[in-house]
Structures are given as C-alpha cells and as structure tokens.
C-alpha cells in the first residue's frame, strides 16, 4: 500500500518537518509541568530533569549562536578535527585499499593483521592517543583516523576486486599499461564503492572527534557536553547533542553534494528502470 505512494521533493520535506515538530510537541508535553500526569515519575519535574525541556534546549542553542555566540570557537575545533581525520583516513584507506587489491601477495601477508586491527574497539585507544599526542587536536584526529580508515579501505579493496575480468582483458588487449588500467578501469570501478563509504566515514570521523573531546580536552562541542554533565545540566547536554546532530547532517549533505557532482555519469534509479 505505502510502497506505491510517491511524493515530490518539496512535499517530502514538508512531511519530514511535520514529523520533527510532532516529536518536539510530544517531548514538550511529556516534560512540561502539569500538561500530562506523570505516569513513570513521582512528580512532573522528574521527567524534565531526566529528558530536558525542549523550549529551554532550543533557547540554549539560540543563545549559543546568536546571543553569547560562544559556540563558534568550539564548533571550529570540532570541524577541524573532523575534516583532518576524514581527509587523512580517506586518503590512507584509498591508498592502502588500492595497493593490497593490486598486490595479492601483500594482501595475503597482511590479512590477519588488518583483521586484528579492525576487530579492535578503537575507542579504547583514545587514552593512549591522549598520552602520545596530548589533549589537543592531534589526539582527536588520530582517533578519528582509526575509525574512518577501515571503512574506506574495505570498500576500495572490494571495489577494485569487483572489476570485470572481461573489461580488464579487453583493456590489456588494447595495450593499456598498468597506470592506464589504474586510471581508467580500477579507479572508476571503485568510485561508487568509495562514495558509499564516505557517508559513513565522515560520520565516524565526527564521532572520533567528539568522543576524543569528551574523554579529555579543553575545547570542542564534546567538551561543552562534558562540562554540562558534570553539573547535571540536562538541557545543555541535550542542546549539545542537538547541535552535534545538525552538524553531522550538514557534513553528510556536503559529501552528498560532492558525490552528485562527481558521479553525474552514473544513471539514477528511475533512469535505470526506464532502460
């Protein structure tokens, strides 16, 4: 029934905004004093203590951006850490993925070590990086790189491995060199795999930056949340989470725009069905 309903882009955005407003309205009704009887709490202030009050949370966000305007420095630090972790992790994953996909011997030799490193919970490395690199930007970037590297690496590796043997054979018959094969066959084949991994990679770089700030820093949005938790200020904690969510969506949208510009040659789903 629902699978056959198609909405225009504008109508879809309206419905998405309406859904968000409904969530905030329910949140407000459940936490505002006297609006709904407290079913799960002893009094009507306990819900607000545990979940915050949406109006106060939005007021805190407004103050951060337009009144005191003291969040921009923290956002800049978090953005810098995220971009550096994303860039370094993506380039390293791309290079390593191409190298091992084109070097079966090296791939077989390093396979158990790569699997062991990938299975390691990277968050536990945050205190070690703090000792190695200090509490500044470098330790957060290092943690973010460990989170982004593997997802890019495995997607690139798989993308190169999925190259059609027929296409490779035809290119070699036409006299293509190894460099030409890399540029015109392997990289285009891996491109869609790379961009599918970048959406997750940018989110993980962001997670690495915020978790690093949360565990030890003197600036960043994660630091603001940590300070608010120490004083049991749930509204500021929720405001920080709200800002981080919007920030992550913005970064993902930027990656999506870059993907659409660089992948114009790829037919869309609707065009594929028409063919």
39 and 116 housed in the same domain = no
97 and 213 housed in the same domain = yes
The reply to whether the predicted model has a pTM over 0.85 is no
Q: Give the Cα separation of 141 and 101 in Å (integer).
A: 26
Does some domain include residue 130?
Answer: yes
Does some domain include residue 62?
Answer: no
Does some domain include residue 178?
Answer: yes
Does some domain include residue 172?
Answer: yes
Q: Which of 159, 166, 216, 220 is nearest to 191 (CA)?
A: 159
Output the six-digit token pair for 237.
């904690």
117 and 170 housed in the same domain = yes
- pLDDT score, position 272: 45
Q: Give the Cα separation of 82 and 202 in Å (integer).
A: 7
Helices (H), the chain: 9-31, 46-51, 54-62, 72-102, 104-119, 126-133, 137-161, 165-173, 178-181, 187-215, 221-230, 234-262, 269-274
- pLDDT score, position 275: 46
198 and 82 housed in the same domain = yes
Does some domain include residue 18?
Answer: yes
State which residues form the domain around 125.
69-265
Going residue by residue through the chain (275 aa), what tens digit of pLDDT does each one get? Answer: 455 566 677 788 788 888 888 888 887 777 776 655 555 555 555 666 677 778 888 888 888 888 887 888 888 888 888 889 988 998 898 888 888 888 888 888 888 888 888 888 888 888 888 888 888 888 888 988 998 898 888 888 887 777 766 666 667 776 676 677 766 677 776 777 777 777 778 888 888 888 888 777 778 888 888 888 777 888 888 888 888 888 888 888 887 787 777 665 555 544 444 44
Instruction: Report how many domains make up the chain.
Output: 2
Output the six-digit token pair for 203.
């989110």
132 and 80 housed in the same domain = yes
Assign residue 106 the CATH number of its domain.
Answer: 1.10.3720.10
Does some domain include residue 63?
Answer: no
Within 8 A by CB and 6+ apart from 80, the residues are 137
DSSP state of 154: H
83 and 196 housed in the same domain = yes
210 and 260 housed in the same domain = yes
Does some domain include residue 272?
Answer: no
128 and 29 housed in the same domain = no
85 and 21 housed in the same domain = no
Does some domain include residue 60?
Answer: no
40 and 94 housed in the same domain = no
Q: Give the Cα separation of 219 and 214 in Å (integer).
A: 10
**Which residue shows structure tokens 């609707």?**
270
37 and 166 housed in the same domain = no
180 and 237 housed in the same domain = yes
């Amino acid at each position: 029934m629902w699978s056959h309903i198609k909405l225009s882009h504008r109508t879809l955005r309206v419905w998405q905004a309406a859904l968000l407003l409904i969530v905030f309205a329910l949140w407000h009704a459940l936490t505002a004093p006297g609006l709904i009887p407290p079913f799960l709490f002893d009094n009507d202030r306990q819900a607000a203590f545990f979940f915050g009050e949406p109006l106060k949370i939005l007021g805190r966000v407004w103050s951060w951006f337009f009144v005191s305007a003291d969040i921009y420095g923290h956002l800049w630090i978090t953005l810098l850490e995220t971009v550096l972790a994303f860039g370094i992790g993506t380039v390293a994953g791309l290079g390593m993925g191409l190298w091992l996909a084109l070097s079966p011997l090296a791939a077989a030799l390093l396979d158990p070590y790569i699997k062991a490193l990938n299975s390691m919970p990277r968050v536990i490395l945050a205190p070690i990086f703090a000792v190695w690199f200090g509490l500044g930007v470098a330790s957060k970037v290092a943690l973010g790189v460990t989170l982004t590297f593997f997802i890019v690496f495995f997607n690139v590796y798989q993308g190169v491995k999925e190259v059609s043997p027929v296409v490779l054979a035809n290119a070699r018959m036409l006299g293509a060199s190894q460099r030409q094969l890399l540029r015109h066959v392997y990289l285009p084949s891996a491109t869609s795999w790379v961009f599918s991994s970048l959406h997750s990679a940018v989110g993980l770089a962001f997670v690495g930056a915020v978790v690093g700030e949360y565990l030890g820093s003197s600036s960043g949005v994660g630091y603001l949340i940590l300070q608010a938790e120490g004083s049991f200020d749930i509204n500021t904690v929720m405001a920080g989470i709200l800002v981080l969510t919007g920030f992550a969506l913005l970064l993902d949208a930027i990656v999506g725009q870059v993907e659409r510009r660089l992948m114009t040659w790829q037919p869309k789903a609707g065009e594929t069905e028409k063919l």
